[in-house]
A = this chain, B = another copy of it.
């Protein structure tokens, strides 16, 4: 599809980067519009009046904006053929949605909370409880990515563990996702960020360390 696409976001956001990686997987060219979340642009407020946050994706032939990263990724998969992000089989698709939702609603916020509290014991325990489910599931699957040989919905989201979490841990001098406890999760997350479409489009580690230091204070 020869289509002008705009993505509104901030460089360091793992939510925005999820959408970037989905677009990269499909080989879609897009214009990135840098937003300032402390001073949101009229466009952002116009295109995402309900949530008022990034990412927002717009296809310029209809101008219609979409928000919520998982919704955007499924939309991208619907619109652009080529490498599929979602499985074709209905049951596998439901499983992909279930696990992506689990990651996005449970794992990601729990890890972020544990980082934000500088590794407070109870927060880390809660994050570990969720991560253990992923570890077990990855152990059963034994595949490179969560759903097999190709990156899918949850793998795109798991780039957060493979890259952002490490930068935050370095910034704050803590460890939340440890290799001894979660060897499969760590291996998987590294597979996800070593995918070419991800590796070539990561924010700089310095920008992430600066972000987490600014947000949560130094170690």
Interface residues, chain A, CB within 8 Å of chain B? 49-51, 62, 64, 66-68, 71-72, 74-75, 78-79, 90-91, 93-95, 97-98, 101-102, 133
A156 to B74, CA, bound (A): 21
A66 nearest CB neighbor, chain B only? B94
What is the minimal beta-carbon distance from A93 to any residue of chain B, in angstroms? Answer: 7
Q: State the number of copies, please.
A: 2
Which residues of the other chain, B, contact A101 by a CB distance below 8 angstroms?
Answer: 68, 71
- Taking chain A's interface residues, is the majority helix, strand, or loop, or is none over half, making it mixed? helix
A172 to B219, CA, bound (A): 48
What is the minimal beta-carbon distance from A90 to any residue of chain B, in angstroms? Answer: 4
Which residues of the other chain, B, contact A95 by a CB distance below 8 angstroms?
Answer: 66
Which residues of the other chain, B, contact A90 by a CB distance below 8 angstroms?
Answer: 75, 78-79
Which residues of the other chain, B, contact A49 by a CB distance below 8 angstroms?
Answer: 133
